[in-house]
Amino acid sequence: MTTRIVIIGGGPAGHSAATYGARLGAEIVLIERDVLGGAAHLWDCIPSKAMIATGGALSFLSRSEGMGLDKVTPHIDLDGVRERLSGIEAKLTSSTNRVLASQNVRIIDGTGSILGPHLVRATTPDGGEEDFEADYIVLCTGSRPRLPDWADVDGERILSTRDAYPPKELPEHIVVVGSGVTGVEFVHMFRSFGSEVTLLVSRQQVLPAKDAEVAAALEDDFLRRGVNLMKGARSVGIDRTERGVIVHAEDGRHAEGSHALLAIGSVPNSEMLGLENVGIETDGGYVPVDHHCRSSVPHIYAAGDLSGRLPLSSVASMQGRKIAEHAMGMHDLPHRHLDYDKAASAIFTEPEIADVGLAEADAFAEGRKIRVTKVPFSVSAKALINDDPRGFVKIVSDPATGVILGGSIVGRHAAELISILALAVNAGLTVNDIVESLFVHPTLSEVLAEAAE
């Protein structure tokens, strides 16, 4: 009998579970209440990176003299940016639809909830209901921005991350609350667009979870570009004023601007999913999963942000694939569990920041012996050709075996370059494997080979 899998949520996790499940022969129903591609396409990864790319083009053109060109003075056109974002989203949604349709995935436009251990209900926008029986259920409902009770987000002056793609008007002075990955990307983006930017950092370092040297490189860049950093400032309130907003910090300081943007994390979309109907355990609204992404009810899986693991689109997609393989019995064969510690991640600031695997600071904290090598991009011919010698490559390896354990890259195209180290970390390659590889000259990748020496 054909295996029936019902998936709730069509973001990267749901899309990937559906595609691989169908490829492996399952009958798939995918219930999505909004747009296929999920928050990733509509609100998060894609629009943010598209706007950052526009900001990058703007700052590159503004520095055109460094490339031997006459000075160019470009200006941001928010309507043009809006059009560009909808164009990208439409293309991605249509290709996602095409892929799923070609695999005979049944797509239901509606809100899904669990009625019983093997029964899922879809409620369509017109109030219609359809029930589906399932051998396996996959929950991929994602997350949404966390909105604190001390700020009244109005989408005009006080913005959540979802109000900023792009905002109705270009902020004259935006106060960003939250200095994690999302917060610093917005700082970078609005600064490239020409807004004045103040960043409230609740601790003493932006990107508190990152390598101190990497965070320092970003702080230096922010300061050089005139971003106001307010450190040790934990936000406790935002008032709207006649001219804009005032963000209050716990210690009595405040920051005034035309707009405020909150980037303080996310909360899972797990309400109204019917988890209680089957007794699925939750933790703060997230659905904890084992190494096969099974919830506490073994034939019900959870993936993506809802699973409370690394909130990355790449991780969500991989979890979706692993679930499809497990449900279709493929994990009885030798296979690799998803190792969250080996996921590469990037921050699309300028310079870009990317890392993978073991961080130097964590190795020291664990008292682990490591070898750290670091080479700046300023030694690279390609960096000079690009007129951008900022940043460095750092490789963490095992001093006894040379096995690459991790690495960080700060600099142009870091998010692309980290793939070499991600492959090395995931495949257990050694520094010598990189040294012996013939990379193209002149490229930035050559700096990785130098750092591996």
Q: Which residues bind ligand FAD (CB under 6 A)?
A: 8-14, 31-34, 38-40, 44-45, 48-49, 111-112, 140-143, 161, 182, 269, 273, 304-306, 311-314, 316
Q: Supply the DSSP string of 283-340, one letter for each residue.
A: BTTB----TT-B-SSTTEEE-GGGGTS---HHHHHHHHHHHHHHHTTGGGSS-----G
Q: Tell me whether residue 84 or residue 371 sits nearer to ligand FAD (CB atom).
A: 84
C-beta of 306 vs 431, nearer to ligand FAD:
306
Query: Nearer to ligand FAD by C-beta: 43 or 60?
Result: 43
CB 114 within 8 A of CB 137: yes
Taking 3-state DSSP, the helix, strand and coil percentages for the chain, each rounded to the nearest 5, stand at 35, 25, 40
In the complex, minimum distance from the CB of residue 343 to ligand FAD, in angstroms, rounded to a whole number? 9
Min dist. Cβ of residue 49 to ligand FAD (A): 6
**Overall size of the chain counted in residues:** 453
Shorter beta-carbon distance to ligand FAD: residue 306 or 359: 306
**Least distance to ligand FAD from the beta carbon of 111, Å?**
4
Q: Is 145 within 8 Å of 262 (Cβ atoms)?
A: yes
For 233, phi then psi, to 5°, come to: -110, 100
Q: How many CB atoms lie within 10 A of CB 163?
A: 20
Q: Look at the block and give the residue holding tokens 């609005």.
A: 190
Query: Which residue lies nearer to ligand FAD by CB, 31 or 451?
Result: 31
Q: Is the dihedral angle over the CA atoms 107, 113, 114, 115 positive or is it negative?
A: negative
Task: For 30-69, give one letter per residue: b (16+ CB within 10 A) or e.
Answer: bbbbebbbbbbbbbbbbbbbbbbebbbebbbeeeeeeeee
Nearer to ligand FAD, 13 or 431 (CB): 13
Nearest to ligand FAD of 70, 126 (CB atom): 126
Closest CB 281 distance from ligand FAD, rounded Å? 19
Tell the smallest beta-carbon distance from residue 191 to ligand FAD (Å): 16
Pairing assessment for the beta strands 245-249 and 129-133 based on DSSP bridges: unpaired
As measured in angstroms, the least distance from the Cβ of 42 to ligand FAD is: 7
With contact defined as beta carbons under 8 Å apart, do 123 and 8 qualify? no
CB of 415 to ligand FAD, least distance (A): 8
